Amino acid sequence: MRVLNLICHQRNMNSVKYNREGDLLFTADAGGKIAIWNSNTGELLGSLEGHQGAVPAMCASDDSRFMVTGSGDFSLKTWSLENGECFQTIESGLPADMVMSNDSQYVAISIQPVMAYKSSIQIFKYDKNTGLLSDEPIQQILKSSEDEANGLMGFARIGFSFQDKYLFATTDDGHLLRYDFEAVLKGDFTKRENIRIHKGVIRDIQFSQDKTYLITASRDRFSKLIDVETLKVMKSYENMHPLNTAAITPLKNYVLIAGGQNAKDVTTTDSKHGGFEIKLLHKIFNQELSAFKGHFGPVNNIAVSPQGTSFTSGGEDGTVRVWFFEPSYFNYEDGL
């Protein structure tokens, strides 16, 4: 397997994402550095300079002209990817995640309950022609009084299903929430489903290419495949170590899961003892097909290229690695 080791970051990785075409790769770390790479060659194309805190949230426009980022410096910024210029800064809470709607008309941002800010999901209008967000959220989802009474914890990861029919959100206590997004835009937050699918915090949700099902990754050591319409758990994958991230491959019936013990709890840098390897599993048969080693700390992020020919991982050790699948991966008969 050909692997590119991308050298730029010195702090732990917070986010790794591809653009829609898959030729650009975006990486962001806990120090506020955002890097832009050629995903095929590993060439560093540029960086976005301006945040003074960790960048856990970012999304690029479909045409790869603009980017929106959220940082621990309590700001949202919009950028030109053509020249790296920041042309808008909005004061906000501390973001946990950010996602752009499939029609590129909205950006949803989950806000953590820090300082005077309440846990919320803020919906901004997005102008795909200028790359600008609305100055203020057009809607804001807060926890209901019933949620507060039941002790529901704060919003964390978020994502849109097919045709932006649903907006999904996770909580820090293992719940998966599904909102009717059309109703949300009208200010109606009652059309919601709430299921608890994990015993621990859900660190990641990612969708299939057609957005009809999603995969979770939790610190309870499980990853689960969820149908977005029925909310049924289609598959459950157990790992030996806590999980931080999971992704679905678009060309084959496989999933990738990764995480690991907290670095401070591991007495050796061996990835096997810490669980720092990335596992490739058969999506249907729940069979481990391969394990990719190279990180010397927990793996925080995985993103699969839209073409399905490679994936990128970001680690607590500050490393970013791009893994290219061999021809045997595409020729392997998976039994279906």
Q: Three-state SS across 238-270?
A: ECCCCEEEEEECCCCCEEEEEECCCHHHCCCCC
Residue 167's nearest CA partner among 192, 131, 196, 135 is: 192
- What are the chain's domains? 216-336 (2.130.10.10)
What pLDDT, on a 0 to 100 scale, did the predictor assign at position 262? Answer: 80
pLDDT tens by residue, 70-81: 999 999 999 999
What pLDDT, on a 0 to 100 scale, did the predictor assign at position 329? Answer: 86
- CA 76, CA 57: separation in Å to the nearest integer? 9
Q: How far is CA 268 from CA 69, 207, 221, 260, 262, in A?
A: 35, 34, 20, 13, 12
pLDDT tens by residue, 257-312: 999 998 666 555 554 568 999 999 999 999 999 999 999 999 999 999 999 999 99
What pLDDT, on a 0 to 100 scale, did the predictor assign at position 327? Answer: 87
Q: What stretches in the chain show pLDDT beneath 70?
A: 263-273, 334-336
- CA 297, CA 192: separation in Å to the nearest integer? 37
What pLDDT, on a 0 to 100 scale, did the predictor assign at position 272? Answer: 57
What pLDDT, on a 0 to 100 scale, did the predictor assign at position 230? Answer: 98
**In this structure, are residues 29 and 68 in contact, taking their beta carbons and an 8 Å threshold?**
no
- CA 203, CA 209: separation in Å to the nearest integer? 20
At 158 the three-state DSSP class reads strand
What pLDDT, on a 0 to 100 scale, did the predictor assign at position 334? Answer: 66
pTM: 0.94
